[in-house]
Amino acid sequence: MAETKKDEASPLHVVVFPWLAFGHIIPFLELSEQLAKRGHFVTFVSAPRNLARLRPVVQEVRPRIRLAPLPLPRVEGLPAGAESTADVPPEKVELLKVAFDGLAAPFAAFLAVACAGVGTGEGHGRKPDWIVLDFAQHWLPPIADEHRVPCAAFFIFTAAGVAFNGPKALNDAHPRSAAADFTVPPPWIPSPLSHLAYRGHEAEWIAGAWRPNASGVSDIARFWETTERCPLLVCRCSREVDGPLCALLGDLYGKPVLPSGLLAPHAAATRASSAAGADGRNDDDEETAGLMRWLDAQPGRSVLYVAFGSEAPLAPEHVRALALGLELAGVRFLWALRRPIGEQRPELPDGFEARARAAGRGLVRVDWVPQVRVLAHAAVGAFLTHAGWSSLVESFLFGHPLVMLPLFADQGLTARLMAARRVGLEVPWDGRAFGGEDVAATVRRVMVEEEGKALARNAREMQGVFWDTARQGRYIDELVEHLQRRRRREQDAPCT
């Protein structure tokens, strides 16, 4: 008994290895920090340039988080220096997967070295107890098996996305391949959740994930093989937000599926709130300082923040429709507009920026914007977003209602969930195009009309859930307990 208690109390060493997208890397880092805050050691693996671009690790846990670079192999057609989805246009992401698969041998060598000193080191020097990986490393569990290191797959999207994908056995029994197959819920989703389905362009993107790409493997095959080979699945969800879907996942996959909680960036949100005054902005560059001064000059909760994440740029026709919609809506806005790869600047309608500046109600910033800082500002009253889960988590820390325009991946399901929770509205989109009039009408419903008051009230209630750090912390505690229990069964087996 004393031996067991000692084993449970000793720190874990966890290797954390996300897919090459910052929408994945950042939640994996949040999870790593939560583990480190509980005294455990994390080796965080990614390509060198991604590690260099990471936000600083929280000061109190830096000694317990080690960054381990694995250089990507060169792949023909992949731009030099491309190490994340932010570095390539959407059509080249499949080449990034080819490069990612080329990390199998380097990772095997890394793990062999990590295991070689078992029993002689402490902290990062001891054999890894677990590897936490992403959906894309279908090749990693066999490598980990050679060294008797268990793997946990961590999915950074909501429980709805994990449930909608479903395990391979259920998909074999109910095959899906055409886009139309994804516009209705799969038969394993309970009828009260019948709104969980994709629409038009979303379904076309999802159907593409069912087809092999340049890597020779489809995204869904990676997901299925990873889920089958890992004894534990972890999902970035919570019972307070995802409801019955959390419990459903374990039944669907036939193994433990633990919620990680929401992994909200509380430290960044707290810093952003404390930097709201001029005294907190001494280190700002001139562009950021100018942006914050502009927000300071706007009335409270009057500005619509517009941003669509770092994973894929908007098509030119979408940029034009959004610009028209923002003009027609007549509300103040701050638009963080991503520059398409290889282009100087997104093409906006003639005179759009000049008219917005002349009216004193609109600002466009190309490329990086300090999103959490902006969302924390008292002038921001709503968020026009692609409904990426990380962006929504940041927004709910400040209680903003949503105008949602999902683009790809699981964003459509997330938008359906948020609309059902009455914390935002979706812009109507027939799957081919959306119009400026649709954008304007939805923005006005959220920010101007009476309906928006109820949405804002619900969003502020959601804010309380996201700031309940005690409840969110319990999810991590339960995860750690599971990792430690499993270690008791695995730790006696030596590395080979």
Residue 486 CB: number of other CB atoms within 10 A?
17
Identify the burial level of 493 via C-beta atoms within 10 angstroms of its C-beta, where 0-12 means exposed, 13-18 middle and 19 or more buried: exposed
Residues 62, 143, single domain; the answer is yes
pLDDT single digits (tens) 71-115: 999 999 999 999 999 899 888 999 999 999 999 999 999 999 999
Strand-by-strand arrangement of the 65-69 sheet: 65-69, 41-46, 13-17, 130-133, 151-155, 232-235, 257-259
Does residue 453 have a pLDDT over 80? yes
Position 190 scores a pLDDT of 87
Residues 475, 443, single domain; the answer is no
344's CB contacts (< 8 A; 6+ apart) are none
Nearest CA-CA partner of 138 in 234, 218, 39? 218
| Structural domain boundaries enclosing 446 | 266-466
Position 277 scores a pLDDT of 54
Residues 452, 484, single domain; the answer is no
Does residue 282 have a pLDDT over 80? no
Average pLDDT over residues 31-40: 97
Position 354 scores a pLDDT of 86
Q: How far is CA 235 from the centre of its chain?
A: 11
DSSP 467: T
Position 281 scores a pLDDT of 61
Residues 422, 479, single domain; the answer is no
Q: State phi, psi for 231 to the nearest 5 degrees.
A: -75, -15
Does residue 22 have a pLDDT over 60? yes
Position 4 scores a pLDDT of 42
Average pLDDT over residues 377-389: 95
What total of structural domains would you count in the chain? 2
Position 368 scores a pLDDT of 80
CATH of the domain at 455: 3.40.50.2000
Strand-by-strand arrangement of the 424-426 sheet: 362-366, 332-337, 303-307, 380-385, 402-404, 424-426
Position 344 scores a pLDDT of 65
Residues 316, 214, single domain; the answer is no
**Alpha carbons within 13 A on the beta-carbon side of 395:** 29
Q: What percent of the chain has pLDDT over 90?
A: 73
Position 193 scores a pLDDT of 79
Position 39 scores a pLDDT of 96
Average pLDDT over residues 260-271: 92
Residues 436, 346, single domain; the answer is yes
Cβ pair 295, 424 in contact under 8 A: no
Position 3 scores a pLDDT of 41
Average pLDDT over residues 191-204: 86
From residue 448, alpha-carbon distances to 98, 199, 303 in Å are 48, 27, 11
Q: Establish if 300 belongs to a structural domain.
A: yes
Position 312 scores a pLDDT of 67
Q: What confidence category does residue 10 fall into, taking pLDDT thresholds of 50, 70 and 90? A: confident
Position 384 scores a pLDDT of 97
Arithmetic mean of pLDDT over the chain: 90
| H or E, element range at 14 | strand 13-17
Residues 43, 60, single domain; the answer is yes
Position 117 scores a pLDDT of 66
Does residue 191 have a pLDDT over 60? yes
Residues 324, 215, single domain; the answer is no
Position 250 scores a pLDDT of 95
Position 311 scores a pLDDT of 73
Residues 240, 288, single domain; the answer is no
Does residue 9 have a pLDDT over 70? no
Q: State phi, psi for 16 to the nearest 5 degrees.
A: -120, 130
Nearest CA-CA partner of 101 in 75, 79, 82, 80? 75
Q: Establish if 496 belongs to a structural domain.
A: no
Q: Calculate helix-pair angle for 469-490, 2-9, nearest 10 degrees.
A: 130
Q: How many Å apart are CA 72 and CA 466, to the nearest integer?
A: 36
Q: How many Å apart are CA 175 and CA 180, to the nearest integer?
A: 12
In this structure, of 90-104, 197-211, 274-288, 437-451, the range with the lowest mean pLDDT score is: 274-288
Q: What confidence category does residue 26 fall into, taking pLDDT thresholds of 50, 70 and 90? A: very high
Nearest CA-CA partner of 163 in 228, 261, 244, 263? 244
Average pLDDT over residues 461-465: 95
pLDDT single digits (tens) 293-320: 999 999 999 999 999 987 766 888 889 9
Q: Establish if 143 belongs to a structural domain.
A: yes
Residues 454, 475, single domain; the answer is no
Does residue 152 have a pLDDT over 70? yes
Cβ pair 417, 384 in contact under 8 A: no
Nearest CA-CA partner of 46 in 165, 152, 136, 142? 136
Amino acid (one-letter) located at 142:
P
Residues 189, 330, single domain; the answer is no
Position 54 scores a pLDDT of 94
Q: DSSP labels for 283-335?
A: T--HHHHHHHHHHHTSPTT-EEEEE--SS-PPPHHHHHHHHHHHHHHT-EEEE
In this structure, of 101-110, 367-376, 429-438, the range with the lowest mean pLDDT score is: 429-438
- Helix, strand, or coil here: 130? strand
Q: What confidence category does residue 383 fall into, taking pLDDT thresholds of 50, 70 and 90? A: very high
Q: Establish if 495 belongs to a structural domain.
A: no
| H or E, element range at 443 | helix 436-447
Residues 462, 473, single domain; the answer is no
